[in-house]
Amino acid sequence: MASSDHDADAYRDYQAADDHVREFYRANHAQQTYDFASGKRDDFARLDHARMGIWEACEKLDSLVDDSDPDTSLTQIEHCLQTAEGIRRDGHPDWFILAGLVHDLGKVLVAFDEPQWAVTGDTFVVGCAFNEAIVYPEYFSANPDARDSRFNTPNGVYEAECGLDALTLSWGHDEYMYLVARDYLPKAALDMIRYHSFYPGHSTHAYDYLMNAKDTETLDWVRRFNAYDLYTKHDDPPDVAALKPYYEDLVGRYFPAEVAW
């Protein structure tokens, strides 16, 4: 079924989510502050935590199930392959397919003992007032930034129309994988990776007042990608072993054998 044929209401149903999803967001929203996100980015931007190949990173996710995702119980390597295979079936360029494969590999952060609330889940702007469009906004009452005059106004530390590049988002796997891949993939692929979890920005108008003209193209690519990220999810796992040779070859066209993480 083509991605456009799916009912968006059938996905990301947080009202029907299990308690563990709610508890994930309770912890995430209480602790994702501007200082926390900035500090984590500075730490992991050094890319000095590991050296490994892309497929090795895929295999590290073989047992990881995303605690924040109400839509699937598949492991992350299975979800990444489902996404990439959906893109491949529709005849998109190889770099687009590769973005599907690697988009969630930043979740390897859990292998570095990072808690899931600092790895997975929807991302949102920190450094300004928490927007009601963010899932479970009531949980931000426990976040100290909500009571800090520097951060609790609509603009916070930002200028109006400053653009995505000037914003700090809550820390997680999107920004981390962007940092890992930024020297290897085209800009459109990097945009897909960096902002695919930024649902309040690309699926609502919550942050339009902070966007600028060039963000229109950025978010258009993200929306194209997210059709596959969301609507290829099903609980019939792909044959990882059968697909591995194709994707190892694809990875080798863009990434070196060993990548800094």
DSSP for 161-191, written as a single string: T--GGGPEEPPSHHHHHHHHHTTTS-HHHHH
Give the per-residue pLDDT at 234. 63
List pLDDT tens digits, range 5-24: 444 444 445 554 578 899 99
| Residues with Cβ within 8 Å of residue 185, at least 6 apart in sequence | 95, 98, 99, 193, 254
Q: Are 103 and 66 in contact (CB under 8 A)?
A: no
Give the per-residue pLDDT at 143. 98
List pLDDT tens digits, range 20-34: 899 999 999 999 999
3-class secondary-structure state, position 259: strand
| Residues with Cβ within 8 Å of residue 21, at least 6 apart in sequence | 14, 67, 68, 69, 70
Local structure of residue 56 (DSSP, 8 states): H
CA distance 101 to 160: 35
| Residues with Cβ within 8 Å of residue 118, at least 6 apart in sequence | 28, 31, 32, 36, 40, 109, 171, 172
Dihedral of the CA atoms 61, 77, 84, 192 (nearest 10)? -30
Domains and CATH numbers, the chain: 36-260 (1.10.3210)
Which ranges of the chain have pLDDT less than 70?
Answer: 1-17, 63-73, 231-235
Token pair 């492991």 is found at 75
Output the DSSP codes for 126-151: ESSPPPTTSSSGGGGGG-GGGG-TTT
Q: Are 261 and 57 in contact (CB under 8 A)?
A: yes
- Determine how many CB atoms are found less than 10 A away from the CB of residue 184: 18
Give the per-residue pLDDT at 10. 44
Q: Estimate to the nearest angstrom the gap between the alpha carbon of 132 and the chain centroid.
A: 20
List pLDDT tens digits, range 64-105: 666 666 555 677 788 899 999 999 999 999 999 999 999 999
Burial class (CB within 10 angstroms; exposed 0-12, middle 13-18, buried 19+) of 200? buried
Give the per-residue pLDDT at 150. 98
Q: Is 161 left (phi over 0), alpha (psi -120 to 50) or beta?
A: left
Per-residue CA distances from 202 to 44, 149, 157, 255 (Å): 25, 27, 21, 28
Give the per-residue pLDDT at 8. 41
Give the per-residue pLDDT at 15. 53
Give the per-residue pLDDT at 196. 97
CA distance 127 to 119: 19
Per-residue CA distances from 26 to 47, 67, 140 (Å): 29, 12, 8
